[in-house]
Amino acid sequence: MHPAFSVIFLTTLIGAGQGLFLALYTAQVYSTVELLPVPPSHFYVQGSAIALALLIGGLVASFFHLGHPERAWRSAARWRTSWLSREVIVLPALMGAVAVYGVVHHLNLRLKDLGFATSVDGDLALVVGAAAVALAFLLFLCTGMIYACIKFLQEWASWLTVVNYTLFGLASGFLLATAYAAYQAPALVYFFGAWTVIITLAVWVTRAASLIRNRRLKYKSTIQTAIGVRHARIVQKSQGFMGGSFNTRDFFHGAAPWLFRSIKWVFLVLVFPVPLVLLFNGMVDRSVPMLSSAFVIQYLGLLAERWYFFAQANHPQNIYYQTIS
Amino acid sequence: MIQLALVIDLNVCVGCHACVTSCKEWNTSGEAGYMSDDRPYGEDPTGNFFNRVQTFEVGEFPNTETVHFPKSCLHCEDPPCVPVCPTGASYKRPEDGIVLVDYDKCIGCKYCAWACPYGVREIDEHQKVMKKCTLCVDRIYDKSLPQAERKPACVMACPTNARLFGDVHDPDSEVSVAISENGGYALMPEWGTKPANHYLPRRKTRIKIHDDELMRADNPLKKEGVRPKPDVHEPSLDDVTSW
């Protein structure tokens, strides 16, 4: 497939936004049960604002993928059948929930303001946050299933796609939370950092699993099934036209083989070992620049990862477009 | 339920591209608007087509066969492009099974093109909507045309009659009979899309001639070959002649 940068930015930005919000909420849950020191409330407010900005950035990027962005509102219509439609509904819902979460923290609203008094600090934020957590995981599911549900794109049609989207988003978000905590709430740095290490190692395993799976794929569609002729040797002599078309542009990545192969190593280095080393040193030194650069470098690696994810998918329609003439 | 479809006879197709040009001509002049082209006479031309004729070589020289293979939307009975559309712009008509795009609802997200294994959907780079074969829906129901011309433009144009059009759910229709009697098949059956369009395979017409058909052992006119010598009392071929 031809990697579209609008979709690459959409999936990486909202992944980081979802992950950051989930990190914030995790910290709040831990501090509520007194496993972590309680950070100042502006930590959650500004953190939610950053998460919201990332989600909005992703939404804006997605509009560049559309031929008719002014009709984008229509895309909520087919949520019964289309994962894309479901994503279109869940993303704004999550943005709303994250915004409310930030506002609740900012105004220090409590459940007793709504008439249910509890003894838990930040109880309303916990309730609103729980809804947002559900939406964030639902959004990971929707984003992953958009790709995983196309069964003949065999590189994508696997549960690993959903797992990878979820874990990459979490890793990116928790790493950002680590850098942000080093700046705003140093007591939480090791908490976020440890989770970042765990999630990054987990997604290292699952992404490697999907790379291995894709290397061993046997394509179900062949030139024989594509034209329905049973013969061991069939060669296309003409695709029917000598110029380009949508079919020759949108389904081939068009990169040189060496570039295509090197992108895989670029992301394997930039997403996993480099950020982990920077994260470790940044945590030891409490260095905000080092932790921030860990996030930025991993984000660049995730862009490469997403590019490779799209480029590696081999669409069966390509069988019909092998030879110009 | 009616399911309109094309049946394409690969045994007859000569690869003349008349269906391609007539399709483009009809649909670019249609009420749904033009099909855009860029640099049609330039170095790197590109444009929208609903139908293409491709050419494949089967076998190794000298035992090769050239197969011309027209490809357009197959109007699948279970079209994977329809459920993925977020707006409902891509739909399958219940009354005749044609898969269509509502150009006024399409947001141009291209997801349906990803979800079609056959690569028959093309984005119009100027109108920014997804386009595809309509089975000439603006032609086949046109009462102002004579009945014989209420067919897709590609079918009308085919000089060798390689393209048949009709209802594949009616077992007595021309297309159903052609499919069942000539081994019609669907493309990429592995994805369960159940394409309505079918293809008829290359067929060899061979006749087996036995020796006795060349050398008639009981030739009554006795003009060739070995003459049989039946007994004078035995009945001969026509119960009349004997020798």
According to the model, what pLDDT value does residue B226 have?
Answer: 57
Burial class (CB in 10 A: 0-12, 13-18, 19+), A157: middle
Cα–Cα distances in angstroms (integers) from residue B170 to residues A60, B5, B166, in the given order:
49, 11, 9
Q: Nearest-CA residue of chain A relative to B128?
A: A67
pLDDT at residue A232 in the model: 95
Tokens of A78: 């087919």
pTM of the model: 0.91
Which residues in chain B land under pLDDT 50? 243
Is residue A149 over pLDDT 70? yes
Considering CB atoms only, which of B53, B56, B60 is closest to A236? B56
- The predicted pLDDT at position B210 comes to 83
Give the model's pLDDT for residue A54: 98
Q: Mean pLDDT across chain A, nearest whole number?
A: 95
For chain B, the C-alpha Rg in angstroms (whole number) is 26
The pLDDT value recorded for residue B221 is 61
Q: Which residues of B touch A224 (CB under 8 A)?
A: none
Candidate from B60, B66, B83 with C-beta closest to A81 = B83
Tell me which chain B residues have a C-beta less than 8 angstroms from the C-beta of A91. none
Yes or no, beta carbons of B86 and A223 under 8 Å apart? no
To test the contact with chain B by mutation, choose from A7, A71, A88 the residue with the greatest count of B C-beta atoms within 10 A, namely: A71
Q: Does domain A5-216+238-321 have CATH number 2.70.98.30?
A: no
3-state helix, strand, coil in chain B (%, to 5): 15, 20, 65
Q: Where do the domains of chain B lie, and which CATH numbers do they carry?
A: 4-200 (3.30.70.20)
- Between chain A and chain B, the number of residue pairs with CB atoms below 8 A apart is 174
Judged by CB atoms closer than 8 Å, whether chains meet at A220 and B190 is answered as yes
Nearest CA in chain B to A83: B84
Q: Note whether B59 contacts A153, CB cutoff 8 Å.
A: no
- Report pLDDT for A315: 96
Q: Do B86 and A69 touch (CB under 8 A)?
A: no
Question: Is residue A228 scored above 70 in pLDDT?
Answer: yes
The C-alpha atoms of residue A250 and residue A286 are separated, in whole angstroms, by 45
Cβ A290 vs Cβ A205: under 8 Å = no
A interface mutation test: which of B24, B52, B68, B72 has the most A CBs within 10 A? B52
Reduce the DSSP state of residue B66 to 3 states and report it: strand
CB burial class (10 A; 0-12, 13-18, 19+) of residue B2? middle
**Do the Cβ atoms of B121 and B81 come closer than 8 Å?**
yes
Tell me, what's the pLDDT at B209?
A: 87
For the stretch A52-81, pLDDT in tens is: 999 999 999 999 999 999 999 999 999 999
Does the distance separating the beta carbons of B52 and A246 come in below 8 Å? no
| N residues, chain A | 325
Q: Which of B36, B39, B69, B103 to mutate to test the interface with A (most CBs of A within 10 A)?
A: B69
In chain A, what percentage of residues exceed pLDDT 90? 92
Q: Does A226 have pLDDT greater than 90?
A: yes
Is B89 in CB contact (< 8 Å) with chain A? yes
Closest residue on chain B to A247 (Cα): B119
Which residue from A151, A233, A234 is facing B191, i.e. has the nearest CB? Answer: A151
Q: What is the pLDDT of residue A112?
A: 87
What average pLDDT does the segment A209-226 reach? 96
Write down the pLDDT at residue B228. Answer: 60
Q: Is some CB atom of chain A closer than 8 A to the CB atom of B141?
A: no
Q: What is the pLDDT of residue A116?
A: 85
**Which pLDDT does position A118 carry in this prediction?**
86
> Where in chain A are the domains?
5-216+238-321
pLDDT tens for each residue of A88-120: 999 999 999 999 999 999 999 998 888 888 888
Provide the residue type at A318 as one letter. N
